[in-house]
Chain A
Amino acid sequence: MSPTSGPAQALGDALAAEYAAIWAYGVIGVHLTESARSAARAAEAAHRARRDALILQLSAGGGQVPADRAGYALPYPVTDRASALKLAVEIEERTAGHWRAALPHTTGADRNKALAALTDCALRATRWRRTAGVTPLTVPFPGRQV
């Protein structure tokens, strides 16, 4: 199995978070309309791109590539626009956390990629807060678990 720490483990955790985010956006999107639904679709596509890049990267490294799961447990029922937007913010913050955790385990181009992913997640979380009318729009330390 994979080591308990190190680059492969950190990137494997980021991949697992990306799988979960992609799955969650399937649930989120159906409760949104118009521009919010388009934004959900774009977010899902962005997570798919990160997923694909991670699978390639981990495969090239010869390590174990974690598999996707058939489904994920939602933290609460997602039944309407409000709960969908709440989940969208949380999914982005959670995924940001996994990319943040990868930073110490990476260097050079790989660290820049992890930072770009962390930043993208943080930006989407901010945009979802704006869509939901939540303030403040930002958190002081994106990805840091409190």
Chain B
Amino acid sequence: MALGGAAVPLTGCDLFDRDDESRPPDPLEPLAAEATALEARYRAAATAVPALTERLTAIADAHRAHAEELRKVIGRPAPSGSPAASPSAAAADPDTVRTELRQAEQAGRDNAAKACAAAPAERAALLGSIAAARATHLEALK
């Protein structure tokens, strides 16, 4: 039954969307989702490694602040379908935790720098600060 009707829901969807004034996804959606995912990662790691709790919590707070600012700029709440950040149970070994966080942070930094380069003027400063902040997180993880 799904095979024959595959095209119909798509058409219906298009019509519905037009009526619904839906906008295309904002190009900053992935960056906002990444900030939320990074926050969750740092919170889990902060719990797993008491020796690093203070430092990691400060960085988690920064990622949350980034996500909030990005949401403001996007002008919409997070899509309801966005996957809840569910980091796998963080390793308790501090060195492993740091290595994993650094990898995620490095990817995030690169993404923010690319977003800054591609952004219209009114978004450039915020994205620049986020890229720079992620670079300082890497430094703080050393």
List A residues at the B interface (Cβ < 8 Å).
96, 99-101, 103-106, 108, 111-112, 114-115, 118-119, 121-123, 125-127, 130, 135-144
- If A103-B128, A111-B116, A140-B65 touch, whether A126 touches B121 (CB-CB below 8 Å) is no
List B residues at the A interface (Cβ < 8 Å).
54-55, 58-59, 61-62, 65-66, 69, 113, 116-117, 121-122, 124-133, 135-137, 139-140
Report whether B128 and A105 are in contact in the complex, using a CB–CB cutoff of 8 Å: no
* A residues near B139, Cβ cutoff 8 Å: 123, 126-127, 137-138
A119 to B139, CA, bound (A): 11
Report whether A100 and B117 are in contact in the complex, using a CB–CB cutoff of 8 Å: no
Give the secondary structure class of A's interface. helix
Say how far A106's CB is from chain B's closest CB, in angstroms: 8
Given A141-B69, A143-B128, 8 other A-B residues pairs in contact with their CB atoms under 8 A: A99-B128, A103-B125, A105-B121, A136-B58, A137-B55, A138-B140, A139-B62, A141-B126
Report whether A122 and B136 are in contact in the complex, using a CB–CB cutoff of 8 Å: yes
* A residues near B132, Cβ cutoff 8 Å: 96, 100, 115, 118-119, 121-123, 142-143
A114 to B137, CA, bound (A): 19
Report whether A104 and B124 are in contact in the complex, using a CB–CB cutoff of 8 Å: yes
* A residues near B55, Cβ cutoff 8 Å: 135-137
A130 to B55, CA, bound (A): 12
Ordered by A's residue number, 8 sampled pairs between the chains whose C-beta atoms are within 8 Å are A100-B129, A103-B125, A103-B127, A121-B132, A138-B136, A140-B61, A141-B69, A142-B129
Report whether B133 and A138 are in contact in the complex, using a CB–CB cutoff of 8 Å: yes
- If A138-B59, A138-B62 touch, whether A126 touches B117 (CB-CB below 8 Å) is no
* B residues near A144, Cβ cutoff 8 Å: 125, 129
* B residues near A96, Cβ cutoff 8 Å: 132
Chain B residue nearest to A125 (CB atoms) is B136
* A residues near B131, Cβ cutoff 8 Å: 115, 119
Task: Determine which residue in B113, B132, B136 has the highest number of CB atoms from chain A within 10 A of its CB, and name it.
Answer: B132
